[in-house]
């Protein structure tokens, strides 16, 4: 289309290049000794050039930008843009690896006020607090914040489980009433703007004091929190949802698995809506107390029924329940965790036997048991929560004596993996009655202390610790409340996000191209979204996955990608074998920019006047045809 350009006043001779331009900014061509400081005169004098709006129609006029090796923008993982990835210093490739990101946080349930707290994984400051239920006509939840008792009041939240997207689920036991499970989004982009005001109302520490003020509707929106996504009934009345785990998934997020203690059942929920997937499966004679997924995707449940028949798994593909071999002695389970070596030749479940000072180890590959009596290591405690790092099993010790005796403990234990043949104790002043424990992605260890209503963070170097204020009201969490077990041992994966600036409005994105190495058992998916502004990216849905051979066509499904100056890319990596990793060297976006141009083709109609002796403005405009290149 025609796009007039006004230039002047400047002395113009016929077909003078100074009165022409080949870009979309007003002004004369950039010739030596020509001033660019012009006063524009659109009424009298000046020059009008008739240009064209040129549409780029092929990759010959495309531009490319991106990140990675050789792009001028190397990979730079930070807690804000990545999880579970590191850069190999030898060649600059982006790879899977345990990072210090931890952007998901530490999620602790308070059973006596029906809330879930989110702690910053480094400082321990409370950065969010949410009701454990969103009562409504579609569920039978008790009133939010109702105090818990063991018969007929309260939602009584306990286990929390973090998924591959770092969203969190909480099981509400609701003794004598309808048990439920709720989902809380782990990032703002996963929340829902229910009131349509364009702003997500969610809990945050507005005044920065490290504690959520429940009297403030800004810091604690409560049941109106738009990151509290759903609450669904699980099982019948008084079924008591206790065990909770997230399953593995080749891509995306695994299903949610819930163990119903009183009815000896395992139930499966969709992670996006909470809708039931099939009916609940009988897992008798197990009264499920803990649950975990293993690297093969099996969902294991352990019992607290003081029996040797205390462990089994559901095969998600068939729904079939299979009992493990009988334990060597009666098992009264508390926490359970999974550990595997990098080649998966060893996969063990570790279970705390609270009533007689033991840790049970079950070998998934051989269907056999080993028991470590902690007295053989000189320790006499009541073990409850357990969590595995790459090299150690961490055990929360509730009391200083066996069988619940000896008074509250301010200690937690470290045992060597996989043998459990050596150990050491760590104590934290200002904490007591440790019941839940978890490993962070920065290798810090978190323990939840019921006696002091707080939590302890043991630093990665094990030389110092942080004790939080008394944030909780009867905390009762000892599941995978950080997500380390699922995302490192059962379903290792990571992601990295970055933004490409095309420097062109309405940029039309055409291709995504990458250089990568994918050993057997590894995978990479690319997701993208575009916007006119960087702030607008978060409001757009992710499009993908784009996979296969590079380049990917962004103009077809799972696109097309809308035009926009900015393109955000999410690289999602996974491996089934922790000895190998995908290697991403670079990722770049290619597209085309449409703009006003004044190309040296054909002839231009040029209206000019020879200032300062221009003719009367009422005189007819003189027209000249300028040949190409002048």
DSSP per position, 194-260: TT-SSS------TT-SSS--TT-TTT--GGG-TTEEEEEEEEEET--EEEEEE---SSS-PPEEEEE
Please check whether residue 272 lies inside any domain of the structure: no
User: What is the rounded distance in angstroms from the CA atom of residue 539 to the CA atom of residue 602?
Assistant: 45
- Residue pair 365/347 in contact (Cβ under 8 Å)? The answer is yes
- Residue 261 three-state SS: coil
Q: Please state whether 45 falls in left (phi above 0), alpha (psi between -120 and 50) or beta.
A: left
CATH number, domain containing residue 582? 2.60.120
- The residue count for the chain: 630
172 and 190 in a common domain:
yes
- Residue pair 256/265 in contact (Cβ under 8 Å)? The answer is no
- Residue pair 263/170 in contact (Cβ under 8 Å)? The answer is no
344 and 462 in a common domain:
yes
Strands of 82-83's sheet in order across: 82-83, 493-501, 566-575, 522-531, 543-546
Burial tier of 101 (Cβ tally within 10 Å: 0-12, 13-18, 19+): buried
441 DSSP 8-state letter: T
Neighbours of 114 (CB within 10 A): 28
User: What is the rounded distance in angstroms from the CA atom of residue 91 to the CA atom of residue 184?
Assistant: 39
148 and 186 in a common domain:
yes
Say what the pLDDT of residue 4 is. 38
CA dihedral 549, 552, 558, 564 (to 10 degrees): 160
442 and 338 in a common domain:
yes
The model's pTM is 0.76
- Residue pair 181/269 in contact (Cβ under 8 Å)? The answer is yes
- Residue pair 330/344 in contact (Cβ under 8 Å)? The answer is no
Task: Give how far the C-alpha of residue 550 lies from the chain's centroid of Cα atoms, to the nearest Å.
Answer: 26
Please check whether residue 339 lies inside any domain of the structure: yes
Say what the pLDDT of residue 23 is. 33
404 and 340 in a common domain:
yes
Please check whether residue 278 lies inside any domain of the structure: no
581 and 471 in a common domain:
no
**How far does the chain reach from its first CA to its final CA, in angstroms?**
22
Where the chain has pLDDT below 70, the residues are: 1-61, 98-103, 595-630
Please give the full DSSP string across 454-498, using - where no structure is assigned: EEEEE-TTSS-EEE--S--SSB---S-SSSHIIIIIIS-EEEEEE
618 and 554 in a common domain:
no
User: What is the rounded distance in angstroms from the CA atom of residue 171 to the CA atom of residue 318?
Assistant: 24
- Residue pair 269/256 in contact (Cβ under 8 Å)? The answer is yes
Please check whether residue 277 lies inside any domain of the structure: no
Residue-range definition of the domain harbouring residue 238? 106-248
User: What is the rounded distance in angstroms from the CA atom of residue 429 to the CA atom of residue 614?
Assistant: 90
218 and 144 in a common domain:
yes
Please give the full DSSP string across 582-610, using - where no structure is assigned: -EEEEEEEEEE--EEE--S-S-EEEE--B
455 and 443 in a common domain:
yes
Phi and psi, residue 22, nearest 5°: -120, 25
Neighbours of 450 (CB within 10 A): 22
- Token pair for 304: 């607290």
Please check whether residue 265 lies inside any domain of the structure: no
Please check whether residue 158 lies inside any domain of the structure: yes
Say what the pLDDT of residue 163 is. 93
Number of domains in the chain: 4
Residue 568: which of 518, 512, 524, 494 has the closest Cα?
512
Please check whether residue 269 lies inside any domain of the structure: no
Query: Buried (b) or exposed (e) across 504-534, using 16+ Cβ within 10 A?
Result: beebbbbbbebebeeeeebbbbbbbbbbeee
For 536, the enclosing helix (H) or strand (E) is helix 534-537
598 and 516 in a common domain:
no
User: What is the rounded distance in angstroms from the CA atom of residue 557 to the CA atom of residue 543?
Assistant: 9
Please check whether residue 563 lies inside any domain of the structure: yes
69 and 36 in a common domain:
no
Angle at 576 between CA 70 and CA 348, to 5 degrees: 135
217 and 171 in a common domain:
yes
Say what the pLDDT of residue 488 is. 83
Say what the pLDDT of residue 261 is. 98
- Asked which of 482, 506, 523 is the last residue of a domain, the reply is 482
């Amino acid at each position: 289309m025609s796009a007039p350009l006004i230039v002047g006043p400047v002395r113009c001779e016929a077909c003078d290049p100074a009165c022409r331009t080949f870009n979309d900014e007003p002004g004369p061509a950039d010739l030596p000794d020509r001033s660019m400081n012009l006063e524009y005169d659109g009424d009298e004098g000046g020059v009008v050039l008739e240009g064209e709006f040129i549409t780029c129609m092929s990759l010959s006029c495309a531009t490319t930008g991106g990140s990675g090796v050789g792009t001028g923008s190397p990979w730079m993982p930070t807690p804000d843009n990545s999880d579970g990835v590191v850069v190999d210093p030898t060649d600059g490739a982006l790879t899977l690896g345990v990072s210090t990101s931890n952007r998901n946080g530490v999620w602790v349930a308070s059973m006596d006020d029906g809330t879930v707290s989110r702690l910053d994984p480094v400082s321990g400051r409370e950065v969010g607090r949410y009701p454990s239920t969103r009562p409504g006509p579609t569920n039978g939840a008790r009133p939010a914040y109702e105090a818990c008792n063991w018969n007929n009041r309260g939602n009584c939240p306990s286990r929390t489980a973090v998924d591959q997207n770092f969203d969190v689920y909480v099981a509400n036991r609701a003794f004598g009433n309808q048990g439920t499970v709720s989902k809380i989004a782990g990032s703002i982009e996963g929340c829902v703007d229910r009131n349509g005001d364009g702003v997500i109302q969610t809990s945050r520490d507005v005044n920065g004091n490290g504690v959520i003020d429940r009297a403030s509707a800004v810091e604690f929106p409560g049941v109106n929190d738009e990151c509290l996504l759903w609450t669904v009934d699980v099982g019948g009345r008084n079924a008591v949802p206790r065990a909770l785990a997230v399953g593995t998934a080749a891509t995306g997020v695994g299903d949610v698995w819930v163990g119903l203690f009183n009815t000896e059942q395992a139930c499966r929920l969709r992670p996006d809506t909470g809708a039931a997937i099939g009916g609940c499966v009988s897992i008798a004679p197990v009264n499920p107390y803990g649950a975990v997924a293993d690297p093969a995707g099996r969902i294991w449940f352990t019992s607290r029924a003081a029996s040797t028949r205390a462990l089994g798994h559901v095969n998600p593909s068939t729904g079939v329940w299979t009992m493990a071999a009988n334990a060597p002695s009666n098992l009264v389970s508390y926490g359970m965790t999974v550990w595997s070596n990098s080649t998966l030749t060893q996969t063990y479940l570790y279970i705390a036997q609270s009533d007689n000072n033991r840790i049970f180890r079950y070998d998934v590959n051989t269907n056999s048991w080993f028991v470590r009596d902690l007295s053989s290591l000189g320790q006499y405690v009541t073990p409850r929560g357990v969590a595995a790092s790459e090299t150690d099993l961490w055990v929360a010790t509730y009391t200083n004596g066996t069988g619940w005796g000896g008074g509250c403990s301010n200690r937690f234990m470290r045992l060597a993996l996989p043998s459990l043949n050596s150990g050491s104790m760590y104590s934290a002043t200002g904490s007591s009655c440790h019941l839940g424990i978890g490993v962070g992605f920065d290798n810090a260890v978190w323990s939840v202390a019921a006696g002091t209503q707080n939590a302890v963070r043991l630093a990665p170097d094990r030389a110092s610790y942080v004790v939080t204020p008394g944030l909780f009201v009867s905390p009762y969490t000892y599941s995978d409340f950080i997500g380390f077990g699922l995302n490192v041992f059962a379903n290792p994966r990571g992601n990295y996000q970055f933004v490409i600036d095309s420097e062109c409005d309405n940029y039309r994105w055409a291709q995504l191209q990458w250089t990568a190495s994918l050993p057997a058992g590894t995978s990479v998916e690319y997701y993208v979204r575009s916007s006119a502004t960087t702030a607008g990216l978060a409001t757009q849905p992710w499009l993908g996955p784009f996979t296969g051979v590079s380049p990917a066509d962004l103009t077809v499904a799972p696109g097309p990608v809308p035009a926009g100056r900015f393109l955000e890319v999410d690289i999602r990596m996974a491996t089934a074998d922790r000895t190998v990793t995908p290697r991403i060297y670079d990722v770049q976006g290619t597209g085309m920019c449409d703009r006003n141009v004044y190309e040296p083709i054909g002839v231009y109609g040029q209206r000019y006047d020879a200032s300062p002796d221009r003719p009367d403005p009422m005189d007819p405009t003189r027209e000249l045809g300028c040949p190409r290149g002048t």
